[in-house]
Amino acid sequence: MILADRLYISYEKEIERKPSLEESTTISFLVLVIFGSNKKSRATPSMAQGTMVPTLLVLLLAVCYATTVVHAKEWTVGDNKGWSFRVSGWERGKHIQSGDVLVFKYNPSMHNVVQVGKGDYNSCRVSGPSRTYTSGNDHIQLARGGKAFFICSLPGHCQQGMKIVVTA
Ligand SMILES: [Cu+2]
């Protein structure tokens, strides 16, 4: 019985010793890792703190990049139908912002794009100040503030729905 107890005690001590050995090994390993990462490269994938900062930086950059992309969004007017009859209303419910670019795609021998004022937009006639685009692939960046009105000035086209108004 006494022998058994002693054996048990010595066995227990052996078990107790093991974690302390592991701990010291871990500590010396961590010290090596810290010194290593300070001196040389960050080739320490097991070190959580070592990878935490670069990971956060990457995430921050990704967020910044995503925000930039959102601010410079391109909108193809009329989607795959392009700048066409009955396109009016395409713009409804879209979060178009200043800095975004409207892309008007159309056959330049059939249509054009004219940026007009509110009165001309409503009456479908170009009488006030306007700017005309005729390339068939017009990229128009929206300036800040207020509404931008676009119509096709060819006879009857605006009346058939070739008109949009966006708030930037
Ligand atoms: Cu037209």
For residues 84 and 135, what is the distance between their CA atoms, to the nearest angstrom?
15
The domain ranges of the chain are 2-71, 74-167
Which pair of structure tokens corresponds to residue 57? 């930086």
Q: In this predicted structure, what is the pLDDT of residue 51?
A: 72
Model confidence pLDDT, tens digit, residues 138-167: 999 999 888 999 999 999 999 999 999 999
Distance CA 138, CA 167 (A): 19
**Residues 168, 145: contact at Cβ < 8 Å?**
yes
Task: Report the CATH fold assignment for 74-167.
Answer: Immunoglobulin-like (2.60.40)
- Cα–ligand 1 centroid distance for 136 (angstroms): 11
Q: Rounded to the nearest whole angstrom, what is the distance from the C-alpha of residue 109 to the centroid of ligand 1? A: 9
- Give yes or no for residue 18 having a pLDDT over 90: no
Condensed to tens digits (0 to 9), the pLDDT of residues 99-133 reads 999 999 999 999 999 999 999 999 999 999 999 99
Write out the residues surrounding ion ligand 1, Cβ under 5 A: 111, 152, 154, 157, 162
Q: How many CA atoms lie within 13 A of 80 on its CB side?
A: 0
Strands 137-141 and 147-151: unpaired
Dihedral in degrees, nearest 10, Cα atoms 49, 50, 51, 57 = 90
Q: Give me the amino acid identity at 24.
A: S
Task: List, in sequence order, the alpha helices (H) in the chain.
Answer: 2-39, 48-71, 118-123
Is the separation of the CB atoms in 160 and 84 below 8 Å? Answer: no
**What is the distance in A from the centroid of ligand 1 to the CA of 68?**
33
